[in-house]
Structure 1
């Protein structure tokens, strides 16, 4: 039994708890795990906290919008639900929903008003906090979805340092910084992400980069970023910027 009733929240403990919650422990491991929970209130609390995260993380309110973009999907084989293409489509729809179309006709618009009426963080990628090599990225995604943007940025910056060509990490670093109020740093990462022409997030990158530029009052640059975009969200945002 833990003498001080405290347990260090290590990655090893988190992965063990994930395996338990996902039903991946064998008989002996499960018996040892249950014994540990019986003997440690701190460990039981850690398990319940992890369970709460896993149960809540997928409860994104996208169900009501599924029919809307099913109609936009061209006939093609059903994609794996975790495919990056599917996720990018969902993210694009959320952005579109967040656009406030009333502002298009509002002549008193300012860059800050346009930003405020359009900015909504990307909903993020689904994760069950598994034990894959992407553990650090998805742990950061848990922080991101809980609006713990500083923690998510800290985790992802380490990944970026090791893998600067990972467009997914760079993109979410940009959005997380923008959500955290650091438009200059967001612009830096989103400009880097924009250079990856084949990124599945290319249209989302343009949307958030334009918003980051607006925060810096770079109106003409924001217009340029959105030119020739094919998505409805980007077209609406461009119209609002053109009205400034």
Structure 2
């Protein structure tokens, strides 16, 4: 799938998602599509890479243009001070690019950010328990109100500590609220089971290992040949020099 054979609506939806221009409702609907469409996920990753490349190229081009304009202006004045300012502008450009380059997050964190897509959530009629608190929590989760979702899910998880659905979605909350260690523990449990979340749990575990620099653990998962995630796993490992 590529821009040439994407319909315009889908291409614009991908662009809006990458640039964070979607409403909460639109984002939730799009993430539901992503969860069930491998080709769409691949196109999303390609678009992210393209936008990052454009942003980098645009920054460099803008800085070069500013420096060139300053140099031309000061040269036209024909003064020593003008030459000094032109040199200073060039140095400033170099410093700005250097600061930007070295100020970027490490590649493992960038790869996690590029490939992690939050699970869209279940229809509330598919709750793992009969407790209405589960459905309420799922609604909060879909709206991005993670503290409220966790407050309702955690008591249920205490009662059913091996419930894969509760483990999986509380792990999602942990990830988006920067509690990766807790997420790893929960996803490990799900990944060793046989529920419908097992494959996805392994993928998110892989991403968490990558983010945390645990490349040995990530590679040991053996996801390179996975029918759903294998291509992305191989690409990530390649970018990490593995």
Q: TM-score, normalised by structure 1?
A: 0.55
RMSD: 3.5
User: For residues 55-74 of structure 1, what are the alpha-carbon distances to aligned partners after superposition, in whole Å with 9 as ceiling and x for unaligned?
Assistant: x9799425995xxxxxxxxx
Larger radius of gyration: 2
Provide the residue aligned with 1:240 in structure 2.
236
Query: In the aligned structure 1, how far is the partner of 2:43 from the partner of 2:208?
Result: 16
Comparing both chains, which one has the higher relative contact order based on Cα–Cα distances under 8 Å and sequence gaps of 6 or more? 1
Provide the residue aligned with 2:163 in structure 1.
166
Q: What are the ranges of 5 or more consecutive residues in structure 2 without an aligned counterpart? A: 1-23, 54-100
Provide the residue aligned with 2:81 in structure 1.
none
Which of 204, 207, 219 aligns to 1:208? It is 204
In structure 2, the residue corresponding to 1:208 is in which secondary structure? Answer: helix
Tell me if the contact between 2:112 and 2:210 (Cα under 8 Å) persists in the aligned partners: yes
Count of residue pairs the alignment pairs up: 160
Which of 185, 203, 207 aligns to 1:188? It is 185
Query: In the aligned structure 2, how far is the partner of 1:98 from the partner of 1:207?
Result: 18
Provide the residue aligned with 1:96 in structure 2.
41
Provide the residue aligned with 1:223 in structure 2.
219
- The alpha-carbon distance between structure 1 residues 236 and 137, as it changes in their structure 2 partners (threshold 3 A), is same
In structure 1, the residue corresponding to 2:161 is in which secondary structure? Answer: coil
Tell me if the contact between 2:171 and 2:186 (Cα under 8 Å) persists in the aligned partners: yes
- The alpha-carbon distance between structure 1 residues 99 and 201, as it changes in their structure 2 partners (threshold 3 A), is farther
User: For residues 15-57 of structure 1, what are the alpha-carbon distances to aligned partners after superposition, in whole Å with 9 as ceiling and x for unaligned?
Assistant: xxxxxxxxxxxxxxxxxxxxxxxxxxxxxxxxxxxxxxxxx97
Provide the residue aligned with 2:149 in structure 1.
152
* Structure 2 residue 107 is matched with structure 1 residue 110: yes
Provide the residue aligned with 1:28 in structure 2.
none
Query: In the aligned structure 1, how far is the partner of 2:44 from the partner of 2:219?
Result: 16
Deviation at 1:242, TM superposition (A): 3.3
Higher helix proportion (structure 1 or 2): 2
Tell me if the contact between 2:191 and 2:199 (Cα under 8 Å) persists in the aligned partners: no
Deviation at 1:188, TM superposition (A): 1.1
Q: What are the ranges of 5 or more consecutive residues in structure 1 without an aligned counterpart? A: 1-55, 66-89
Query: In the aligned structure 1, how far is the partner of 2:107 from the partner of 2:31?
Result: 33
Tell me if the contact between 1:210 and 1:222 (Cα under 8 Å) persists in the aligned partners: yes
- The alpha-carbon distance between structure 1 residues 207 and 147, as it changes in their structure 2 partners (threshold 3 A), is same
Q: TM-score, normalised by structure 2?
A: 0.56
Which of 29, 43, 48 aligns to 1:61? It is 29
